[in-house]
Amino acid sequence: MYSRVLLKLSGEALSGGKKDGILDSEALLNTAKAVKAIVDAGSEVSIVIGAGNIARGSLVEKTGIDRVSGDHMGMLGTVINCIALKETLVTLGQKAVVLSAVDVTFVETYTPVLADKYLKEKYVVLFAAGTGKPFFTTDTCATLRAIEIKADAILIAKNGVDGIYSDNPLTNKDAYMFKEITCSEIIKRDLKVMDLTAVEMIKDKDIDVRVFNMNNTDNFTKVARGENIGTTIKKG
Full 3-state SS string of the chain: CCCEEEEEECHHHHCCCCCCCCCCHHHHHHHHHHHHHHHHHCCEEEEEECCCCCCCHHHHHHHCCCHHHHHHHHHHHHHHHHHHHHHHHHHCCCCEEEEECCCCCCCEECCHHHHHHHHHCCCEEEEECCCCCCCCCHHHHHHHHHHHCCCCEEEEEECCCCCEECCCCCCCCCCCEECEEEHHHHHHHCCCCCCHHHHHHHCCCCCEEEEEECCCCHHHHHHHCCCCCCEEEECC
Using 50, 70 and 90 to split pLDDT, how confident is the model at 160?
confident
Lowest-confidence range among 28-32, 93-97, 98-102, 193-197?
193-197
Using 50, 70 and 90 to split pLDDT, how confident is the model at 79?
very high
Q: What is the pLDDT of residue 216?
A: 93
CATH class, domain 4-234, is alpha beta
Q: How many CB atoms lie within 10 A of CB 47?
A: 27
Q: Answer whether residue 53 shows pLDDT above 90.
A: no
Mean pLDDT of 22-35: 95
Q: What is the pLDDT of residues 164-208, one digit of tens each?
A: 999 888 888 898 999 999 999 999 998 888 888 999 999 999 999
Q: Answer whether residue 59 shows pLDDT above 70.
A: no
Mean pLDDT of 133-142: 93
Q: Answer whether residue 18 shows pLDDT above 70.
A: no
Q: What does pTM read for this prediction?
A: 0.94
β-strand partners of 125: 46, 97
Q: What is the pLDDT of residues 107-125, one digit of tens each?
A: 999 999 999 999 999 999 9
